[in-house]
Amino acid sequence: MTKAGMKQDRKLIRFFLAGFLVVFLLSCIAIFVIENQMAAFARNEIQTNESRVVRLENELLSKEIGGILGDLHYIHHIYETALADPKGHSEIVTHWTEFSLHRGIYDQIRYIDSLGDERIRINFDGEKAYAVEDQALQNKADRYYFRETAKLPSGIVYVSPLDLNIENDEVEQPIKPMIRFSVPLYQSDHSFSGILILNYLARDVLEDFKELAKTSNGYVALLNYEGYWFSCRNQDNEWAFMYDDRKSRTFGALYPEEWAMIRKGPGQVVTKNGLFTFQPVSLENIFSHGGGRTEQTRIAAADRMWFIVSAVPPDSESAYYFSHDPLIRWKNIIKKNGYQLIWLAFISGVVGFVIFLNRRQYYRVKYFSEHDPLTGLLNRRAGYEALQRMLQESDKSKEPVSLCFVDINGLKQVNDLLGHDLGDELILTVSRIMGQTIRKEDLAVRLGGDEFLIVFRGIDPVRAELIWGRIVEKFELINQEENRKYLVSVSHGIVAREDQRTSEMDELIRLADEKMYQEKSEIKKALSVIRERNGDSWKQ
């Protein structure tokens, strides 16, 4: 295969690859744009949903917990005076037992006297309410909720932290999440007589919290002010502050950057750890205005606030919508559109092959319209067009252009005496040697018959003669080493574009032809291109 043929084949392959890649890449870009638009819509939907979940969780806590103070105020108002008289305790026990059973949300309703001794304790086990026997009552003087409540003036409600119930100095099993609401009791002479306390069983509201959290695209956590989990997808992290060996497990330790933002207020951020939507829960607002009451209650809350946090982590199905890494997006697009991309690759291949066939036909027609069918050199028309362009470029660059007119000596004799096959062989030999020897920036043109034209770009006639000398050396080597019936002999004439008067192409060709003819006249005087037979060889 010739260099021109190989070059053409490489062009055709490039056209096929270009057609394939253009169609495939445009299709992929279209898919990427559509996926980006869908991702933007999905991202907005996810963000909206997480904000909705966090808001609903906040409303749930406010509704469930906020009404407890109403119960405390009712019992305090009705029974504060009666509690001071032990004779009326049996009737109070009856009323509180019915109340506990009816409400079903208080693990304990207690009256603790000024010394910390439980005087009345109503327990609720989930099915029935009952009074604890006197011998089973305990002293709670050392418990934080008793000490804190006893410090308060009349009318102030103490709200304990949400924690787990302790019995006999150990966490009660199964665990009982508790919030204790207590109010100090004072006699008419303003002397402290004890506290009234409701142990709110928070298990149900936390279960409702987790149930609502299932509508999140990730998970929803409820945290206290220090960042400990009340509710978490990893149950081992819940209530860590109640156990000495787990106190290092906090949200802030796991997500320090996000925790710093969460502490500053409501918001929604995307970090390397995913999408975080958060809302602080003001306990003072819940407890002061909860339960639909319009009046404000003065409270002393141990917990300043809680935090509701929705997290869509990087390992969730929705996380890639928030990724800023194009590689991750492309991986997900490929994963989601695998079959479509295979079809696109097939269609792109078909389109590329069609383009390949069209370009191959185009190059075939173009090649035969521009090249001599025997030698593969440029034909007269294409050669003249190329020469004209080269001369125009020379006008701008001021580089020299040299023309060499070439004529094969004795071609008619070879055709007449040895046959046209050997005549064609002679033409091919001359064209091949010239094509192999000239530089890649030069042109070789077959004008027709035995006439050729070589155009040397950027060199003067002296350097052009050096190149021509190498061509002649190869002709002589063939004559010496190959046992041909004829000699390879050519005549040439080289001219240069000297000034604008010789800039016309036809004029340059005419001058080169005249110089070639002068050389040919001298060569023909002593040349016979047909060799004589000497045994099995031919000699001049």
What integer is the mean pLDDT of 46-64? 88
What integer is the mean pLDDT of 329-350? 65
Tell me how far CA of residue 277 lies from CA of 48, 132, 253, 312, 327, in angstroms. Answer: 10, 45, 18, 9, 25
Q: Is the pLDDT of residue 127 over 70?
A: yes
The packing angle between helices 338-370 and 326-336, to 10°, is: 100
More confident residue, 47 or 303: 47
Give the pLDDT confidence score for residue 20 in this predicted structure.
62
Domains of the chain and any CATH numbers: 53-321 (3.30.450.20), 371-539 (3.30.70.270)
Give the pLDDT confidence score for residue 74 in this predicted structure.
87
State how far Cα 67 lies from the chain centre. 49
State the pLDDT confidence band at 250, using cuts at 50, 70 and 90.
very high
Q: Which of 151-165, 212-226, 275-289, 315-329 has the lowest mean pLDDT?
A: 315-329
* pTM, entire model: 0.58
Q: Is the pLDDT of residue 130 over 80?
A: yes
Give the pLDDT confidence score for residue 153 in this predicted structure.
92
More confident residue, 72 or 317: 72
| Tokens coding 183 | 């109010």
Q: Is the pLDDT of residue 352 over 70?
A: no
Q: Is the pLDDT of residue 146 over 70?
A: yes
What integer is the mean pLDDT of 107-133? 93
Q: Is the pLDDT of residue 171 over 90?
A: no
pLDDT in tens, 378-414: 999 999 999 888 888 888 888 889 999 999 999 999 9
C-alpha span between 249 and 223 (Å, rounded): 12
Please give the helix or strand (H or E) that residue 72 lies within, else none: helix 68-83
Give the pLDDT confidence score for residue 320 in this predicted structure.
67
pLDDT in tens, 434-476: 999 999 999 999 998 899 999 999 999 999 999 999 999 999 9
Q: Which of 193-197, 418-422, 495-499 has the lowest mean pLDDT?
A: 495-499
Q: Is the pLDDT of residue 286 over 80?
A: no
Give the pLDDT confidence score for residue 53 in this predicted structure.
92
C-alpha span between 57 and 214 (Å, rounded): 11
* Complete DSSP assignment for 200-256: EETHHHHHHHHHHHTTSSSEEEEE-TTS-EEE-SSGGGBTGGGSGGGTT--HHHH-H
What integer is the mean pLDDT of 71-86? 87
Give the amino acid at 263: R
More confident residue, 351 or 186: 186
Q: How many CA atoms lie within 13 A of 330 on its CB side?
A: 6
C-alpha span between 514 and 492 (Å, rounded): 10
Give the pLDDT confidence score for residue 257 in this predicted structure.
94
Q: Is the pLDDT of residue 1 over 80?
A: no
Give the pLDDT confidence score for residue 343 in this predicted structure.
67
Q: Tell me the average pLDDT of the chain.
A: 84
Q: What is the DSSP letter of 539?
A: E
State the pLDDT confidence band at 291, using cuts at 50, 70 and 90.
very low
Q: Is the pLDDT of residue 502 over 50?
A: no
Give the pLDDT confidence score for residue 305 in this predicted structure.
85
CB 159 within 8 A of CB 299: yes
DSSP 3-state assignment of 526? coil
